Amino acid sequence: MNLTLLVLAAGMGSRYGGLKQLDQVGPSGETIIDYSVYDAIEAGFNKIVFIIRKDIEKDMKEFLFAKYSKKVKIEYVFQELDKLPDGIVPPEGRIKPWGTGHAVLMAKNVIHEPFVVINADDFYGKSAFKVVADYMKSQQNNLTGKYCMAGYLLKNTLSEHGVVSRGVCTVNPKMQMVDIIERTKIGWKYDVIVADDNGKDLVLSGNEYVSMNFWGFTPDVFPALEEEFTRFIKTNIDNLKSEYYIPSIVSHQVNTGKANVQVLEAKDQWFGVTYIEDKPIVIDKIKDLTVNGKYPEKLWK
């Protein structure tokens, strides 16, 4: 079965203060993307597609794509501000593209098989790639509406250095997603976890399954995504900071009965570099994984 990994690597790193995609965190100068691609190949993925910006194309090709292409098929496309459906023109003053949902849409012409979406700056762990790949392969005869998500416990995904946004999931006893709501400004307040709820504090237990943008999709998501994104963009065209997130299309497909989403528990710990202060923590965690034999000292030989 053909299985593609779609890596969202067009982010600007505004909170981080730099280009996270190429930041070295491994013992031999590896990036977080290096570990994700390594784990994906081990799990059976045979194509990697990157969503990038034109201004980082040269660096991405030189420092990442060149070494990957020896192991797996590589393609890349650009997330561009003005690449919008129906000839819609972005408003004057808009700087950033339109979010993760828009980013996935950029790949519609190069992906025609089941695929998995991840963030470039998140370390997901081997178990997430394996459990999602195994599920997608088990559904190879069902190429419509069979989605999945690697689920992490909220309390294990917070940053010590600021608030975060997470897609908070409601699941049924069969671990199928009932709903997902994008919550912003999640963090510790005294001894409880709170999220912003229209200006008020919403207390969360920390045991909720959350999306870390690790999704498994079948190709039928693209026309649905384009239709919903078109509706969104027409409604929010004048909001210079509006973004269309992946959970929006997932929620729509689930609520309309067009898709089922299986939430698959990821056993490994997630960690990432939302803020520059997170980097030393990531370096230490990867060092521990290497010392304990989870990864070789040098990933790409």
- Name the residue among 111, 72, 294 with its Cα closest to residue 216: 111
Q: Does 299 map to a domain?
A: no
Q: Does 300 map to a domain?
A: no
**Residue 86: count of CB within 10 angstroms of its CB:** 8
Residues forming a β-bridge with 119? 8
Q: Does 20 map to a domain?
A: yes
Per DSSP, 256 falls in state T
pLDDT in tens, the chain (301 residues): 899 999 999 975 544 445 677 889 999 999 999 999 999 999 999 999 999 999 889 999 999 999 999 999 999 999 998 899 887 899 899 988 899 999 999 999 999 999 999 999 899 999 999 999 999 988 877 778 889 999 999 998 888 888 988 989 999 999 999 988 889 899 999 889 999 998 999 999 999 999 999 999 999 999 999 999 999 999 999 999 899 999 899 999 999 999 999 999 998 889 888 778 888 999 999 999 999 999 999 998 7
- In the prediction, which pLDDT does 274 show? 74
Q: How far apart are CA 246 and CA 225, in angstroms?
A: 9
- In the prediction, which pLDDT does 12 show? 55
- In the prediction, which pLDDT does 1 show? 81
Q: Does 226 map to a domain?
A: yes
Q: Does 152 map to a domain?
A: yes
CATH code for the domain in which residue 222 is found: 3.90.550.10
Q: Does 203 map to a domain?
A: yes
Count structural domains, the chain: 1
Q: Does 301 map to a domain?
A: no
- In the prediction, which pLDDT does 19 show? 65
- In the prediction, which pLDDT does 156 show? 87
- In the prediction, which pLDDT does 16 show? 42
Helices (H), 74-220: 100-105, 126-138
Q: Is the dihedral of CA 53, 5, 257, 155 positive or negative?
A: negative
| Torsions phi, psi for 48 (to 5 deg) | -120, 125
Q: Does 185 map to a domain?
A: yes
| Residue 193 belongs to domain spanning | 4-291
